[in-house]
Amino acid sequence: MKFFLIISDFIIPLIMLGIVAHGIRKKRPVYDDFVDGAKKGIKTVIGIMPTLIGLMVGVGVLRSSGFLDMLTQVTQKFSDKIFFPAQLIPLTFIRMFSSSAATGLALDIFNQYGPDSYIGIVTSIMMSCTETIFYTMSVYCIAAGIKKTRWTLPGALLCTFAGIVASVLLARMM
């Protein structure tokens, strides 16, 4: 374990050094390439900024309006029948939109139930095996100029559903 801790301290600087060394070996103007990439990155950030702001505002409204608590109460009976903790329904819903908001909900769950509880374990596994579908699709499709997403959303929803089911099953095995 100590070996991995030592390596983790040096991995980022070694990668950066490797990139610079590769650029010098290929006789590329490394700093100029870096600056050009940074300029393109800023243009991308400015292009996706309205989408990011819209997603953040929407998630903030959902959290502060009480909608997530109402959603938990409304789906309580159904979630009990499928052995899914109703307390995780808001997390499941928000996780598809915002990773940071989902992390905030996960911390609230850990504070209320404990990270070693069944709900805490399901939360931990779910956070690591699901994706922020709508955020990822909007940011990357806008940045890449993709207009036709066709099967992206159904595929992402299916994968998220599989991750949720897997998190419940894995937590039950523990």
Average pLDDT of every residue of the chain: 89
What's the 3-state SS for 27-82? CCCHHHHHHHHHHHHHHHHHHHHHHHHHHHHHHHHHHHHCHHHHHHHHCHHHHHHC
The pLDDT tens digits for 51-105 are 778 877 887 888 789 888 898 889 999 998 888 999 999 999 899 988 888 888 8
The pLDDT tens digits for 112-171 are 999 999 999 999 999 999 989 988 888 888 778 888 888 889 999 999 999 999 999 999
State residue 59's pLDDT score: 78
